Amino acid sequence: MSPGTPRTRLSHAERRTTILDAAARVIVAHGVHGFRLQDVADEAGVSQPLVSSHVDDRDELIAAAFVRVDERELRAVEADARGAEPGRAAIVRFLRRATIPSSGEAPEGELPGEDGWELWNQVSSRARFSPVVRDAVGSRQAAWIAALTGLLRDGLAGAHLPAAVDPERVALLLITVSDGLGPALNCGLLDDDGARAVLEDALDGALR
Protein backbone atom coordinates (compact mmCIF):
# COMPACT_ATOMS: atom_id res chain seq x y z
CA MET A 1 0.00 0.00 0.00
CA SER A 2 1.49 3.34 -1.00
CA PRO A 3 1.81 6.24 1.49
CA GLY A 4 -1.38 8.22 1.76
CA THR A 5 -3.57 5.40 0.43
CA PRO A 6 -6.53 4.99 2.81
CA ARG A 7 -6.89 1.58 4.46
CA THR A 8 -10.10 -0.30 3.82
CA ARG A 9 -11.89 -0.93 7.09
CA LEU A 10 -13.55 -4.30 7.35
CA SER A 11 -17.06 -4.58 8.73
CA HIS A 12 -17.70 -6.64 11.84
CA ALA A 13 -19.03 -9.51 9.70
CA GLU A 14 -16.05 -9.36 7.32
CA ARG A 15 -13.59 -9.36 10.21
CA ARG A 16 -15.36 -12.34 11.79
CA THR A 17 -15.16 -14.19 8.49
CA THR A 18 -11.43 -13.50 8.28
CA ILE A 19 -10.95 -14.81 11.82
CA LEU A 20 -13.01 -17.97 11.23
CA ASP A 21 -11.16 -18.81 8.02
CA ALA A 22 -7.85 -18.27 9.84
CA ALA A 23 -9.02 -20.50 12.70
CA ALA A 24 -9.85 -23.32 10.27
CA ARG A 25 -6.37 -23.17 8.77
CA VAL A 26 -4.75 -23.09 12.22
CA ILE A 27 -6.77 -26.07 13.47
CA VAL A 28 -5.57 -28.10 10.50
CA ALA A 29 -1.97 -26.97 10.99
CA HIS A 30 -1.72 -27.31 14.78
CA GLY A 31 -4.51 -29.73 15.69
CA VAL A 32 -7.75 -28.91 17.46
CA HIS A 33 -6.22 -29.63 20.87
CA GLY A 34 -2.94 -27.83 20.22
CA PHE A 35 -3.74 -24.47 18.67
CA ARG A 36 -3.85 -21.20 20.62
CA LEU A 37 -5.98 -18.11 20.11
CA GLN A 38 -2.74 -16.24 19.49
CA ASP A 39 -2.06 -18.61 16.59
CA VAL A 40 -5.40 -17.61 15.09
CA ALA A 41 -4.68 -13.92 15.65
CA ASP A 42 -1.30 -14.24 13.95
CA GLU A 43 -2.84 -16.09 10.99
CA ALA A 44 -5.62 -13.50 10.63
CA GLY A 45 -3.27 -10.55 11.12
CA VAL A 46 -5.19 -9.17 14.11
CA SER A 47 -4.73 -8.96 17.86
CA GLN A 48 -5.64 -11.80 20.19
CA PRO A 49 -8.17 -9.61 22.07
CA LEU A 50 -9.91 -8.94 18.76
CA VAL A 51 -10.27 -12.69 18.17
CA SER A 52 -11.77 -13.06 21.65
CA SER A 53 -14.23 -10.24 20.95
CA HIS A 54 -15.84 -12.30 18.19
CA VAL A 55 -16.38 -15.53 20.16
CA ASP A 56 -17.20 -16.38 23.76
CA ASP A 57 -14.60 -19.11 24.09
CA ARG A 58 -12.27 -21.48 22.26
CA ASP A 59 -14.92 -24.13 21.57
CA GLU A 60 -17.26 -21.57 20.05
CA LEU A 61 -14.42 -20.56 17.71
CA ILE A 62 -13.81 -24.19 16.74
CA ALA A 63 -17.51 -24.79 16.08
CA ALA A 64 -18.04 -21.58 14.09
CA ALA A 65 -14.94 -22.09 11.94
CA PHE A 66 -15.92 -25.68 11.23
CA VAL A 67 -19.51 -24.81 10.31
CA ARG A 68 -18.38 -22.06 7.93
CA VAL A 69 -15.97 -24.35 6.06
CA ASP A 70 -18.39 -27.29 5.97
CA GLU A 71 -21.33 -25.24 4.71
CA ARG A 72 -19.19 -24.04 1.83
CA GLU A 73 -17.98 -27.55 1.05
CA LEU A 74 -21.47 -29.07 1.07
CA ARG A 75 -22.74 -26.38 -1.30
CA ALA A 76 -19.94 -27.19 -3.74
CA VAL A 77 -20.43 -30.97 -3.51
CA GLU A 78 -24.19 -30.73 -3.94
CA ALA A 79 -23.91 -28.34 -6.90
CA ASP A 80 -21.43 -30.70 -8.55
CA ALA A 81 -23.69 -33.70 -8.00
CA ARG A 82 -26.69 -31.91 -9.45
CA GLY A 83 -24.69 -31.42 -12.63
CA ALA A 84 -24.83 -35.18 -13.20
CA GLU A 85 -27.75 -37.19 -14.53
CA PRO A 86 -30.38 -37.63 -11.77
CA GLY A 87 -30.32 -40.96 -9.98
CA ARG A 88 -27.32 -43.20 -9.52
CA ALA A 89 -24.86 -40.95 -11.39
CA ALA A 90 -25.65 -37.95 -9.19
CA ILE A 91 -25.44 -40.04 -6.01
CA VAL A 92 -22.10 -41.57 -7.01
CA ARG A 93 -20.67 -38.13 -7.77
CA PHE A 94 -21.87 -36.80 -4.41
CA LEU A 95 -20.44 -39.73 -2.45
CA ARG A 96 -17.10 -39.80 -4.25
CA ARG A 97 -16.46 -36.12 -3.69
CA ALA A 98 -17.65 -36.32 -0.09
CA THR A 99 -15.38 -39.30 0.61
CA ILE A 100 -12.33 -38.53 -1.54
CA PRO A 101 -11.76 -34.75 -1.49
CA SER A 102 -9.98 -33.11 -4.40
CA SER A 103 -6.35 -32.15 -3.84
CA GLY A 104 -6.24 -29.16 -6.20
CA GLU A 105 -5.68 -25.51 -5.40
CA ALA A 106 -8.38 -23.80 -3.37
CA PRO A 107 -9.49 -20.16 -3.71
CA GLU A 108 -7.50 -17.73 -1.59
CA GLY A 109 -8.41 -18.00 2.09
CA GLU A 110 -10.23 -21.33 1.69
CA LEU A 111 -9.07 -24.80 2.67
CA PRO A 112 -8.17 -27.34 -0.03
CA GLY A 113 -10.39 -30.42 -0.07
CA GLU A 114 -7.89 -32.59 1.79
CA ASP A 115 -7.53 -29.99 4.53
CA GLY A 116 -11.31 -29.70 4.80
CA TRP A 117 -11.40 -33.42 5.41
CA GLU A 118 -8.70 -33.10 8.08
CA LEU A 119 -10.74 -30.32 9.72
CA TRP A 120 -13.66 -32.77 10.00
CA ASN A 121 -11.38 -35.32 11.67
CA GLN A 122 -9.91 -32.80 14.08
CA VAL A 123 -13.19 -31.20 15.09
CA SER A 124 -14.93 -34.56 15.49
CA SER A 125 -12.29 -35.55 18.03
CA ARG A 126 -13.20 -32.48 20.08
CA ALA A 127 -16.95 -33.16 19.87
CA ARG A 128 -16.70 -35.88 22.52
CA PHE A 129 -15.61 -33.32 25.12
CA SER A 130 -17.58 -30.21 24.10
CA PRO A 131 -21.38 -29.90 23.79
CA VAL A 132 -20.96 -26.82 21.57
CA VAL A 133 -18.69 -28.63 19.14
CA ARG A 134 -20.79 -31.80 19.32
CA ASP A 135 -23.92 -29.85 18.34
CA ALA A 136 -22.06 -28.27 15.41
CA VAL A 137 -20.81 -31.63 14.14
CA GLY A 138 -24.26 -33.18 14.54
CA SER A 139 -25.97 -30.38 12.67
CA ARG A 140 -23.52 -30.60 9.79
CA GLN A 141 -23.84 -34.38 9.65
CA ALA A 142 -27.60 -33.95 9.40
CA ALA A 143 -27.12 -31.41 6.60
CA TRP A 144 -25.09 -33.88 4.51
CA ILE A 145 -27.70 -36.59 5.05
CA ALA A 146 -30.47 -34.16 4.06
CA ALA A 147 -28.62 -33.16 0.88
CA LEU A 148 -28.17 -36.78 -0.17
CA THR A 149 -31.79 -37.51 0.72
CA GLY A 150 -32.78 -34.75 -1.71
CA LEU A 151 -30.76 -36.32 -4.52
CA LEU A 152 -32.37 -39.68 -3.83
CA ARG A 153 -35.85 -38.16 -3.89
CA ASP A 154 -35.07 -36.48 -7.21
CA GLY A 155 -33.97 -39.83 -8.58
CA LEU A 156 -37.19 -41.45 -7.43
CA ALA A 157 -39.33 -38.66 -8.86
CA GLY A 158 -37.75 -39.15 -12.26
CA ALA A 159 -38.01 -42.95 -12.06
CA HIS A 160 -34.22 -43.23 -12.15
CA LEU A 161 -34.14 -45.36 -8.98
CA PRO A 162 -36.10 -48.41 -7.77
CA ALA A 163 -39.49 -47.39 -6.39
CA ALA A 164 -38.86 -49.27 -3.12
CA VAL A 165 -35.90 -47.04 -2.14
CA ASP A 166 -36.38 -45.21 1.18
CA PRO A 167 -34.44 -41.95 0.67
CA GLU A 168 -33.89 -41.13 4.36
CA ARG A 169 -32.75 -44.63 5.27
CA VAL A 170 -30.46 -44.99 2.26
CA ALA A 171 -28.93 -41.53 2.78
CA LEU A 172 -28.15 -42.34 6.41
CA LEU A 173 -26.56 -45.65 5.40
CA LEU A 174 -24.43 -44.17 2.62
CA ILE A 175 -23.19 -41.19 4.64
CA THR A 176 -22.28 -43.58 7.46
CA VAL A 177 -20.29 -45.71 5.02
CA SER A 178 -18.62 -42.61 3.58
CA ASP A 179 -17.62 -41.41 7.05
CA GLY A 180 -16.22 -44.82 7.91
CA LEU A 181 -13.99 -44.79 4.84
CA GLY A 182 -12.27 -41.61 5.99
CA PRO A 183 -10.12 -43.19 8.72
CA ALA A 184 -9.32 -46.17 6.48
CA LEU A 185 -8.04 -43.85 3.76
CA ASN A 186 -6.18 -41.74 6.28
CA CYS A 187 -4.35 -44.80 7.67
CA GLY A 188 -3.57 -46.27 4.26
CA LEU A 189 -5.82 -49.31 4.69
CA LEU A 190 -7.52 -48.34 1.43
CA ASP A 191 -6.50 -46.28 -1.56
CA ASP A 192 -8.86 -44.07 -3.55
CA ASP A 193 -9.81 -46.88 -5.93
CA GLY A 194 -10.57 -49.17 -3.00
CA ALA A 195 -12.77 -46.53 -1.41
CA ARG A 196 -14.67 -46.05 -4.66
CA ALA A 197 -15.25 -49.80 -4.87
CA VAL A 198 -16.65 -49.89 -1.32
CA LEU A 199 -18.99 -47.00 -2.14
CA GLU A 200 -20.21 -48.80 -5.25
CA ASP A 201 -20.82 -51.98 -3.24
CA ALA A 202 -22.76 -50.05 -0.60
CA LEU A 203 -24.79 -48.31 -3.28
CA ASP A 204 -25.56 -51.58 -5.05
CA GLY A 205 -26.87 -53.02 -1.78
CA ALA A 206 -28.87 -49.93 -0.87
CA LEU A 207 -30.58 -49.54 -4.25
CA ARG A 208 -31.73 -53.13 -4.72
87 CB neighbour count, 10 Å cutoff: 19
Judge residue 148's burial from the number of C-beta atoms within 10 Å of its C-beta, 0-12 exposed, 13-18 middle, 19 or more buried: buried
Is the separation of the CB atoms in 91 and 81 below 8 Å? yes
CA distance 113 to 62: 18
Is the separation of the CB atoms in 65 and 72 below 8 Å? no
> In the predicted model, what is the mean pLDDT of residues 65-69?
95
pTM of this structure: 0.88
Does 134 reside within a domain?
yes
Is the separation of the CB atoms in 116 and 69 below 8 Å? yes
CA–centroid distance for 64 within its chain = 12
Is the separation of the CB atoms in 18 and 36 below 8 Å? no
User: In the chain, what is the straight-line distance between the N-terminal and C-terminal CA atoms, in Å?
Assistant: 62
Flag the least confident range among 35-44, 67-76, 100-109, 132-141: 100-109
Does 53 reside within a domain?
no
C-alpha atoms less than 13 angstroms from C-alpha of 181 in its C-beta half-sphere:
26
CA distance 37 to 206: 44
State the CATH number of the domain containing residue 74. 1.10.357.10
Number of domains making up the chain = 1
Q: Which domain holds residue 164?
A: 66-206
Does 31 reside within a domain?
no
Does 41 reside within a domain?
no
85 CB neighbour count, 10 Å cutoff: 11
Q: Is the pLDDT of residue 95 over 50?
A: yes
Q: Is the pLDDT of residue 113 over 80?
A: no
Q: Is the pLDDT of residue 6 over 60?
A: no
